[in-house]
Chain A
Amino acid sequence: MNGLFDLPSDLQNTYWGLIALHLREALIPVLAGLLVALPIAQLCVRLRWLYPPVLWVTTVLYAIPSLAFFVVLIDYTGLSETTVMIPLAVYSLVVFVPAIVDGVRSVPRETLDAATAMGFGPVRRYVQVQLPIAAPAIIAGLRVASVSSISLVSVGMLIGNQGALGNLLNSGMIYNQPRLIWLSVIGTAVLAILVDAVLIGLRILVTPWMPRGTRQNARPTALKDAAR
């Protein structure tokens, strides 16, 4: 128990194991949220009247405090990782839906008309024209959702030690080992920053036609980023 990364045995994990667990618990819900958000956003783009109510629903769902959300789910999914993941997926919608809708709406009318004139069907137009142009906005949303998600997983510690790195907080309190708490806080923060950096790299990769700078055309999403 005197090495920097030694953990108490009741966690049944090494530090690296906890990090892997944390990443899994944080990122699976974000990806699930993205998969749900894509069709919802597409519907909102098609049917304009649907957008405000959908925004309302996501805002209201986002307002439900994480601990309360976990606790109500215990009755259905038990003290499990799933219970932690479901709320995180729901929270990510509040970021994704506006980001994707704004991104897809930012595609100029002429571009769409040109695609149609070239004989693109609706599916091909969506995949080859709308999605690539919306990609920076979607990745901006991914960044916010992933970083927030990584921070929130720790709260899962309160429900049956399902918090990955958050479980270190409890051990630190029980065994009076501030080192473990530092490990948890710094580990989580570094993880969030690294994931953010990876996503910035991804944006540069998938949008080679854009300038390398951080100045994106996704100005409106930068705003939503801030407001989360």
Chain B
Amino acid sequence: MNVLDFINAFFSDSAHWQGYDGIPTRLLEHIQYTLMALGIAAAVGLPVGLLTGHTGRGGNTLALIATAARALPSFGLMVLMFVLLGLGLAPVMIPLVVLAIPPILVTTYEAMRSADPAPVDAARGMGMAEAEVLFRVELPVALPLILSGLRSAAIQIVSTATIAAYVSFGGLGRYIVDGLYQRDYEKVVGGATLVAVLALATLGVFWAAARLTVSRGVRRGA
């Protein structure tokens, strides 16, 4: 028996495709959690990053926040929140959002700072308002990097939401954690495969988003 056999056995068993513990249900749950956490993190991180990046203030503070956030063990934080807050969405969502904000924030800031100053000055010279300079000049140029920040945040959320099954969370991690407890290796490998596929699909989604939204001129320059 090798891993491929386990994967084959898991996906060909029709029992795995229905009910509350079925693949579609778990997959949807996982996507739902990811989008929710990413949405909250982006709602916080993007505006702050865009503004600080535009004004160029607070870069050192952001770097400090990023280092501090990276030092926080996400898994430990989850278990701690679970013990403090009990069952529910909050103990899992809080660590996910805390994890996702720093990459979004710092990458957005850096992306805005790395915009070529010449066109920005030209825009000001043409009499654009600050908001116009931000959204019509800096943002399009910074977009590829901003997307890469969102991408790494999304992948971290997908990965960490898997671990969250240990603290009674749904999603694809259930297969891995339950399978480990039940010594059902088929289930474990099946879950791992699904999570990996979802993470790669996330990469694909961001790649497609970049193709669609980044202007051709910026892409040529990159």
Q: Are B74 and A151 in contact (CB under 8 A)?
A: yes
Q: Are B71 and A66 in contact (CB-based, < 8 A)?
A: no
Q: Which residue of A64, A75, A150, A151 contacts B2 across the interface (Cβ within 8 Å)?
A: A75
Question: Given that A60-B203, A147-B67, A158-B177 are known contacts, is A65 also in contact with B162, CB under 8 Å in the complex?
Answer: yes
Task: Determine the distance from Cα of A151 to Cα of B200 in the docked complex, in whole angstroms.
Answer: 22
Residue numbers of A with Cβ under 8 A of B are 59-60, 62-69, 71-72, 74-75, 144, 147-148, 150-151, 154-155, 157-159, 165-166, 169, 172-173, 178, 181-182, 184-185, 188-189, 192-193, 196, 214, 222-223, 225-228
Most buried by A among B72, B73, B176: B73
Bound together, the chains give a CA A165 to CA B77 distance in angstroms of 13
Q: Within the complex, what minimum Cβ distance (angstroms) separates A27 from chain B?
A: 15
In the complex, how many angstroms separate the beta carbon of A153 from the nearest chain B beta carbon? Answer: 9
13 residue pairs of the A-B complex, CB under 8 angstroms, read A63-B155, A67-B192, A68-B176, A68-B193, A71-B191, A75-B2, A148-B70, A154-B73, A182-B80, A185-B79, A226-B110, A228-B103, A228-B156
Among candidates B66, B71, B155, residue contacting A192 with C-beta atoms closer than 8 Å: B71
Q: Is the CB of B79 within 8 A of A181?
A: yes
Q: Is the CB of B79 within 8 A of A227?
A: no
Using a CB–CB cutoff of 8 Å, the interface residues on chain B facing chain A are 2-3, 6, 60, 63, 66-68, 70-77, 79-80, 83-84, 102-103, 106-107, 110, 114, 145, 148-149, 152, 155-156, 158-159, 162-163, 166, 173, 176-177, 180, 185, 188-189, 191-193, 195-196, 199-200, 202-203
- Give min CB distance, B44 to chain A, whole Å: 16
Inter-subunit contact A169/B76 (CB<8 Å)? yes
Considering the complex, give the chain A residue whose CB is closest to the CB of B194: A68
CB neighbours (8 Å) of B158 from chain A are 65
Q: A64-B200, A67-B162, A71-B176 are in contact. List 17 more A-B contacts (CB 8 A).
A: A63-B202, A66-B159, A72-B192, A150-B71, A151-B74, A154-B73, A154-B76, A181-B80, A182-B80, A184-B76, A185-B73, A192-B73, A196-B71, A214-B60, A226-B106, A228-B70, A228-B156
Closest Cβ–Cβ distance, residue B196 to chain A (whole Å) = 5
Interface of chain B, main secondary structure: helix
Cβ–Cβ contact A151 & B110, under 8 A: no
A75: chain B residues at CB < 8 Å are: 2-3, 6, 185, 189
In the complex with contacts A75-B3, A222-B63, A226-B110, A155-B75 CB distance below 8 A = yes
- In the bound complex, do residue B71 and residue A223 qualify as a contact, i.e. CB atoms below 8 Å apart? no
Contacts A65-B159, A71-B189; A151 near B71 (Cβ below 8 A):
yes
Cβ-defined contact, A65 with B195, below 8 A: yes
On whether the beta carbons of B83 and A67 are closer than 8 Å, the reply is no
**Shortest distance in angstroms between A72's beta carbon and chain B's nearest beta carbon?**
5
A151 touches B70 (CB 8 A): yes
- Are the CB atoms of B203 and A63 closer together than 8 Å? yes
Q: Verify A228–B180 contact, CB threshold 8 A.
A: no
In the complex formed, the residue of B with least CB distance to A169 is B79
Q: Distance (Å) between the CB of B195 and the closest chain A CB? A: 5
**Partner among B66, B71, B84, B176 whose Cβ is within 8 Å of the Cβ of A226:** B66
The answer to whether A189 and B149 touch (CB under 8 A), given A67-B163, A182-B80, A227-B103, is no
Quick one: which of A155, A172, A222 contacts B163, CB cutoff 8 A?
A: A155
On chain A, the residues within 8 Å of B79 by CB distance are 169, 172-173, 181, 184-185
Contacts A65-B199, A71-B189 given: A185-B70 contact, CB under 8 Å?
A: no
Q: Which chain B residue lies CB-closest to A163?
A: B75
A72 to B190, CA, bound (A): 10
- Considering the chains assembled together, what is the distance between the CA atoms of A87 and B103 in angstroms? 21
Partner of A59, one of B6, B68, B203: B203
A151 CA to B77 CA, complexed, in Å: 10
Is the beta-carbon distance between B75 and A72 smaller than 8 angstroms? Answer: no
Q: Which 5 A-B pairs give the minimum distances between C-beta atoms?
A: A226-B106, A65-B159, A68-B192, A192-B71, A185-B76
Q: Chain B residues near A227 (CB, 8 Å)?
A: 103, 106-107, 145, 148-149, 152
CA distance A150 to B74 in the complex (A): 11
Q: Find out whether the CB atom of A226 lies under 8 angstroms from the CB atom of B107.
A: yes
In this complex, the member of A63, A148, A173, A182 whose beta carbon has the largest number of chain B beta carbons within 10 angstroms is A63
